[in-house]
Structure 1
Amino acid sequence: MSAFNILFLCTGNSARSILAEAITNALPGAKFTGYSAGSMPRGEVNPHALALLNKLGHPTSGLRSKSWDEFAVPGATPLHFVITVCDNAAGEVCPIWPGQPMTAHWGLPDPADVAGTDAEIAVAFADTYRMLRNRIGAFAELPLASLDRLSLKRRMDEIGKDVVETANDTAAR
């Protein structure tokens, strides 16, 4: 297998899932290919997400807001993992994904919901990027070949919980 395909889901597919796709595709070693989609895509990528990704040197030309239906049809890109990054998408009835990929929920606050100055919005996007980068980095370090499905599922779920608790601890200070 050349790469594991990961689909990141969020309702609007304009910010969090887009950031996760870009982070995954920037991982060294080509072990993973990241994709993103939404149940109700906004049709455009959030400009603050694009600005941050450009600032950090990520390619953005291929990023687009798209429906998760693209990944649920026969002949679609085979998925190995599907990870929801927003609580709304986690609560929705998802399509049946070809190949029965492993799923996890790594819910994060939506930086697109932040109102304030450009600087405050930029901080929200940077925080979301950092949390996603940490989770994706932890996932990429898992010994996938030596974990059975149940152990891998448990570790994927732990990654989402550990980072959320750390973020909540930081916010409480």
Structure 2
Amino acid sequence: MNILFLCTGNSCRSQMAEGWAKNLKREVFRAYSAGVETHGLNERAVKVMKEAGVDISGNSSKLVSDLPADLEFDYVVTVCGNAKETCPFFPAKSKIVHVGFDDPPSLTQGMESEEDILNVYRRVRDEIREFILTLPESLENSGAARRTKQNPKV
């Protein structure tokens, strides 16, 4: 199955989700991530994932349009509210699910202690890991699932 994790800038949460899915669920999913914009790969996200044994340093921030045009997704998981609201069209086959996670860069604005900042990133990283561990069952049974605007029937 193909799964896409979609976020606003494809810099942090969607990158973490892709990394965890590739690490924990590679026998189930081919995992991808993208954004509705690109913000570059977040260095703190890379750091806290590496602490957990997952190397995402080779990833890049990309748009959905940067993915192969013939790539079809079984699941599209929006991990932030903006991506949920601006989610591009996907074929009716794609089950779109929203699972929101806090945005570490927003939560840490104004924080001065690097350790406090990294602790926010670690918390979100761990929450995303726990979600990935529930896949694919939580997606198949998700009441939050919705079809694309092209096929609004669930």
The question of a shared fold, defined as TM-score above 0.5 by the shorter chain, is answered with yes
Equivalent residue number for residue 150 of structure 2: none
Matches within 5 A, 1:37-56: 37-42=34-39, 44-56=40-52
- Kept in 2, the 8 Å contact 1:19–1:53? The answer is yes
TM-score by length of 2: 0.82
Partner of 1:12: 9
Structure 2 unaligned residues grouped into runs of 5+: 146-154
* Percentage identity across paired residues of the two chains: 31
Instruction: State the shift of 1:143 in Å.
Output: 8.7
CA contact (8 A) 1:8 1:36 kept: yes
Match of 2:149 in 1: none
Letter aligned with residue 88 of structure 1: N
| Aligned match of 1:88 | 82
Superposed CA deviations along residues 58-84 of structure 1, whole A, max 9, x for unmatched, are 12243110001224x632x22110000
TM-score when normalising by structure 1? 0.74
Alignment of 1:1-173 (within 5 A): 4-28=1-25, 30-42=27-39, 44-71=40-67, 74-75=69-70, 77-92=71-86, 94-98=87-91, 100-113=93-106, 114-115=108-109, 116=111, 117-140=113-136, 142=137, 152=140, 154-155=141-142, 157=144
- Which structure's residues are more often helix, by fraction? 1
Cα separation, 2, equivalents of 1:17 and 1:62: 14
CA contact under 8 A between 1:8 and 1:17: conserved in structure 2? yes
| Equivalent residue pairs, number | 142
**Change in 2 beyond 3 A, CA 1:121/1:105:** same
Q: Is the 8 A contact 2:14 2:34 kept in 1?
A: yes
